[in-house]
Amino acid sequence: MTKHTISPPAAAILGDVHTCDCGARLDGRMAAELHAAENGQCTACLGSAEEQVVPGLTRRCTACAATGRRREQITWQLAHAEAEQVITMSVVRGVVAELDGPFHLSEIADLVRAGLGLPLGRLPVGPRVRDLLLMMQSAGEITMVSAPDELLDGTDVVLYRDPQWQRVATLTP
Ligand SMILES: [Zn+2]
Ligand SMILES: [Zn+2]
């Protein structure tokens, strides 16, 4: 089976030509994504299973659960959509309202998963809960109390692995 892992341009001077392991030269990100989709590769990481956060830092591709494959990417997209339906703001507010002290993202995710009876690994509970907690944070309902785990030199990017928040006031779920 021919491998179709696509590499982005190695240097800006080469223009926007992506190259595929099969020998194809793909002019531009659009062409690269199309070639990836046609060959069953994830269109986010183009089959590499890694995504670049900032130049020099890569992490496992979140779109395809680091498989590099289109099928997993689509499954995961559907799971994200389902998570959005099932895990609502009032579910997360209800969990947070029960807690007095600071809490970690992972604790809330576990409580939500348990509360809804979701099996481990079927839905992206963590990312969905994080999004909702960030919304609560920007609404001033909770404040982040943890320091970033990593500061990337020369960039504005900070990474939090399992951030901690504290409730600001009593919430009405
Ligand atoms: Zn190819
Ligand atoms: Zn991917």
How far does residue 66's CA lie from ligand 1's centre (Å)?
19
Report CA(22)–ligand 1 centroid distance (Å).
4
Q: Are residues 60 and 92 both part of a single domain?
A: no
Tallying the residues shown for the chain, one arrives at: 173
For ligand 1, the distance from its centroid to the CA atom of residue 6, given in whole angstroms, is 7
Domain count, the chain: 2
Number of C-beta neighbours around residue 71 at 10 A: 12
Residues 62 and 93 in one domain: no
**172 falls within a domain:** no
If asked whether residues 98 and 162 sit together in one domain, one would say yes
| Domain-embedded: residue 147 | yes
Residue 81 placed within a domain: no
Examine the fold and report which residue of 41, 71, 101 is the final residue of a domain before the chain moves on.
Answer: 71
User: Residue 101: inside a domain, yes or no?
Assistant: yes
pLDDT of residue 16: 84
Cβ pair 16, 29 in contact under 8 A: yes
Which of 14, 46, 71 is a domain's end point? 71
How far is it, in rounded angstroms, from Cα 158 to Cα 63?
A: 20
Quote the pLDDT of residue 104.
95
Per-residue confidence (pLDDT) for residue 45, from 0 to 100? 95
Residue 143 lies in a domain: yes
| Range(s) of the domain holding residue 138 | 87-167
Q: Is residue 173 part of a domain?
A: no
Domain boundary pick from 71, 98, 113: 71
Tell me, in angstroms, the distance from the centre of ligand 1 to residue 86's CA: 38
Phi-psi region of 147 (alpha: psi -120 to 50; beta: other; left: phi over 0): beta
Residue 10 falls inside a structural domain: yes
Question: In tens digits, what is the pLDDT along the chain, a chain of 173 residues?
Answer: 678 999 988 766 667 899 999 999 999 999 999 999 999 999 999 999 998 877 778 889 989 989 999 999 999 999 999 999 999 999 999 999 998 889 999 999 999 999 999 998 889 899 999 999 999 999 999 999 987 777 777 777 777 889 999 998 665 55
Same domain, 49 and 93: no
Quick one: which ligand is closest to 50's CA?
2
Distance, CA of 173 to CA of 170 (rounded, Å): 10
Q: Which ligand is nearest to the CA of 4?
A: 1
- Same domain? For 64 and 117 the reply is no
CATH code for position 155: 1.10.10
